[in-house]
Amino acid sequence: MSDERRNRRSTPSNGRPRGAQGSAEGHRGGQRGPGRTVQPARRVAYDVLRAVSETDAYANLVLPSAIAEARLTPQDAALATELTYGTLRRLGTYDAIIASAADRATDGIDPAVLDALRLAVHQLLATRVASHAAVNESVNLVAIESGRGASSFANAVLRRITRDSAETWQERIEEQARSDDERLALRSAHPVWVIRALRRALAAEGRDTELDALLEADNASPDVTLVALPGLAEPGEPRLPYAPTAYASPGGDPRLSVEASGGTVRVQDEGSQLVALALAGVSPIAAGERWLDLCAGPGGKTALLAAIALQEDVILEANEVVPVRARLVRKALRAVPGEIVVHEQDGRELAASRAGEFDRILVDAPCTGLGALRRRPEARWRKSPADVAELVPLQVELLSAALDALAPGGIVAYVTCSPHLAETTGVVQEVLRGRTDIVELDARAAIADVSRSPIDLATEGRSGSGSAQLWPHRHGTDAMFLALLQRSAAVITTGKED
């Protein structure tokens, strides 16, 4: 997903009111206990949580460099990873428990203290970490960051939490829920609006009974998947069931595999690989075709398309409006021989200026990212329905512009890493309304054709749509959506030929 929007903050910031936990003895100028120390893995996890809270950082981008900078052992790196992602996944549930134990709303607790409490609650209720270690280390963290008064408050809250089991705390907070969906939100650690959106998306396939399995999959640690760029690298073992380019990481730091390959092996979700391969495989490729990746950042799908383009003598261009992400695209393309132009324009403007030029266009549209909550667990707490309302018009405009940039017979792949119906079939239906020059192809068949083994893609309830939806609980991939739209060979837009 090429997410060009800055996410709204839903985690506490330094501007929020402080509680009566002694926050006047804060990080700047407060008294700290002598000789306070924190185990390195917990320190790294805490620092990443603070970055997520304070700067809207994504843990999957911050954590690897934090681990490397701290020179953690493999064992400590694994612990830091579990503590970070586990805490972020269940943030809403942990906040409810903290509020109950502290007898105050979490927005009345100093943000630095709150992140330490969240980290401690995860250790106390969801890991095998000894209770005394979790409490002592977290209290030390608070003392170091916010002073003695705050550490006394944290100690009192955590001691209360240790008196009861995880099951008891879960029952206690669920008793306060005002609806079944609120209870499910506290149990599954998903906001209510996300639960409802996922339920509707599953119901569109006649599979709303799978909601619990999907929510559970969102909270599971995903395996690391690698892509071997075709013609430049060979997939390792074990192979994955669907994308012919995909295989599971052999373990350890996957960056080592990437570096050893010179970039011809990359970390990339299997679903992300499948949608790019489906665009390349949906029809025979003719030498000299012109392809465009319209929203290319950070470049994973671009690199895969570039490797195929190299094999097939195709001209590929890429575009990414955000300069930092455009640099990531160029970096991803270094492993592929040849020059590939990477534009830095608004995708709508670029497409409008290149009417009728391209044979295949990938529109990996900016979206809410609700399909990748396994990998970006903090996103569920940052997003809101307002983000959907803001993104849908942009998605419609990008897709409409891309269709106009197609040559006769050309194909657009509209992709989102979100199953939200407003961002997926809703966008496609809106764009196709009133157009007579576009036909929707069978994206399910296109994915099945490139898949190594049979893949279960639901057809029920899609009102004749040929779109495809992947799911974490069913396919082990991110929840990628794909629609394939082809421009007529004789281009007609208003009832008469151009």
Q: Which residues are catalytic?
A: 417
Q: Using CA atoms, how far apart are residues 149 and 462, in angstroms rounded to an integer?
A: 58
d(CA 224, CA 36): 36
Residue that is written with structure tokens 């195709």 in the block? 314
**Tally of residues, the chain:** 498
Comparing CA positions, the residue from 276, 300, 299, 280 lying closest to residue 415 is 276
303 touches 267 (CB < 8 A): no
- Whether the CB-CB separation of 405 and 292 falls below 8 Å is answered with yes
Q: What share of the chain is helix, strand, coil (3-state, %, to 5)?
A: 50, 10, 40
Across 59-137, the runs of DSSP E, i.e. the strands, are: none
Alpha helices in 300-442 (DSSP H): 300-312, 323-333, 347-353, 379-382, 385-404, 425-432
Q: Nearest-CA neighbor of 114 among 21, 29, 39?
A: 21
Tell me which residue has tokens 């003392």. 143
CA distances from 164 to 131, 137, 169 (A): 12, 20, 7
Q: CB neighbours (10 Å) of residue 125?
A: 22
Put the strands of the sheet holding 265-267 in their side by side order: 246-248, 225-228, 265-267
Q: What are phi and psi of 169, to 5 degrees?
A: -65, -40
Q: What is the DSSP letter of 492?
A: B
Paired strand residues for 267: 226
Q: Is 351 helix (H, G, I), strand (E, B) or coil?
A: helix
Q: Locate all alpha helices (DSSP H) within 442-492, ordered by sequence.
A: 443-450, 472-475
Cis status, amide bond into 238, omega within 30 of 0: yes
Coil, strand or helix at 167 = helix
